[in-house]
Amino acid sequence: MVTANTELGYNTKVEGGVVVSRADAVINWIRTNSMWPMPMGLACCAIELMAVGGARFDISRFGAEVMRFSPRQSDCMIVAGTVTYKMAPQVRRIYDQMAAPKWVIAMGACASSGGMYRSYATLQGVDRIVPVDVYVSGCPPRPEALLDALVKLQEKVKREPAARRLLSA
């Protein structure tokens, strides 16, 4: 996928099909198009998350169909559902186990803010536990909304200074 941001350059003077670009652009290009989700399916939103993986909405068009339940293999945690206080430490622990770089999508009202569950047992927004990159509204969000969130996250990732972070890490 070549976009304006990819900054591809082709130098005819160098032989052998060499493409010149910025390291950031290449790294981010790779990252955006193979963003493996960690499906943190907690409640109702997980059903829509599965629908996104199904044939009709087909998240694999965006390179994110490889749902990995192993946090080590995944890049983007999709928190789909109500996070309770009992579950919150586990969510954080899984987030900690994910290898950097990592991103978080808070899918649905519950994950974003506690939603309709204003009660003693519910964490009022997963951003109290993990940093969130994209919030998706809806209870549950439609599959298209999740796809939109993924595209938004990809746009955000494309702007990251990936090379500098890699060198300084």
Partner 1 sequence: MRTPMATDYSFPDNAARAAAAADEFQPEKMSLSMGPSHPSTHGVLRLQMELDGETVTKADPVVGYLHRGDEKIAENMTYNQFVPYTDRLDYLAPLANNMAYAIAVERLAGLEVPPRCQAIRVITAEMARISSHLMGLGAFGLDVGAWTVLLYTLEEREKLYKLFEELTGARFTTSYTRIGGVTRDVPEGWLGRVNAFCDQFLPILEEILRLLTRNKIFMDRTVDVGVISKTDALAYGLTGPNLRGSGVALDLRKDKPYSGYEQYEFDVPVGTTGDCYDRYLVRGEEMRQSVRILRQAIAKFPEGPWYATDARRIFAPPKDKVMTSMEELIQNFMLVTEGPQMPPGEVYFEAENPKGILGFYVVSKGGGVPYRLKIRSPSFCNLSILPKACVGILISDVVAILGSLDFVMGECDR
Partner 2 sequence: MSAEFVTAFKSRFPMAVDRASADHPAFNLPYDEVVPALRFLRDQWGFELLMDLTAIDGGPGTEPRFTVVYHLLAPNRGATYVRIAAPCAGPEDEPAAPSVVGLWPGANWHERECWDMFGIRFDGHPDLRRILMWDGYPYHPLRKEFPLAGVETDLPVADIQEETGTRVVAAPMAGGPFVASTGEVNLTEAEPRALDQSWSDRRVQPGQTPLRQVKE
Applying CB under 8 A, which residues contact partner 2?
85-86, 88-89, 92-93, 96, 114, 118-124, 128-129
**Which residues bind to partner 1, rule: CB under 8 A?**
40-44, 46-48, 50-51, 53-56, 69, 81-82, 84, 86-87, 90, 94, 116-122, 139-140, 142
Residue 80, SS3? strand
CB of 110 to partner 2, least distance (A): 12
Rounded to a whole number of angstroms, the minimum distance from the CB of residue 44 to partner 2 is 18
Nearer residue to partner 1 within complex by CB, 10 or 69: 69
Tokens of 21: 């670009």
Task: Find the shortest distance in angstroms from Cβ 19 to partner 1.
Answer: 37
- Tell me the three-class secondary structure of 93-104, residue by residue: HHHHHCCCCCEE
Pick the closest to residue 32 from 56, 5, 13, 51 (CA basis). Answer: 5
Q: Please identify, using beta-carbon distances, which residue of 128 and 159 lies nearer to partner 2.
A: 128
Which of partner 2, partner 1, none interacts with 124 (beta carbon under 5 to 8 A by kind)? Answer: partner 2
* Token pair for 167: 């060198």
Helix axes 45-53, 143-158, angle to 10 degrees: 80
What's the closest the beta carbon of residue 113 comes to partner 2, in angstroms?
A: 9
Which of partner 1, partner 2, none interacts with 19 (beta carbon under 5 to 8 A by kind)? Answer: none
Q: Are strands 76-80 and 37-41 parallel, antiparallel or unpaired?
A: parallel
CA distance linking residue 97 with residue 55, whole number of Å? 30
The minimum distance between CB 127 and partner 1, in angstroms, equals 18
Residue 95 sits at the vertex; the CA angle it makes with 94 and 99, to the nearest 5 degrees, is 100
Cβ atoms within 10 Å of 113's Cβ, excluding its own: 18
Q: Which CB sits closer to partner 1, 21 or 90? A: 90
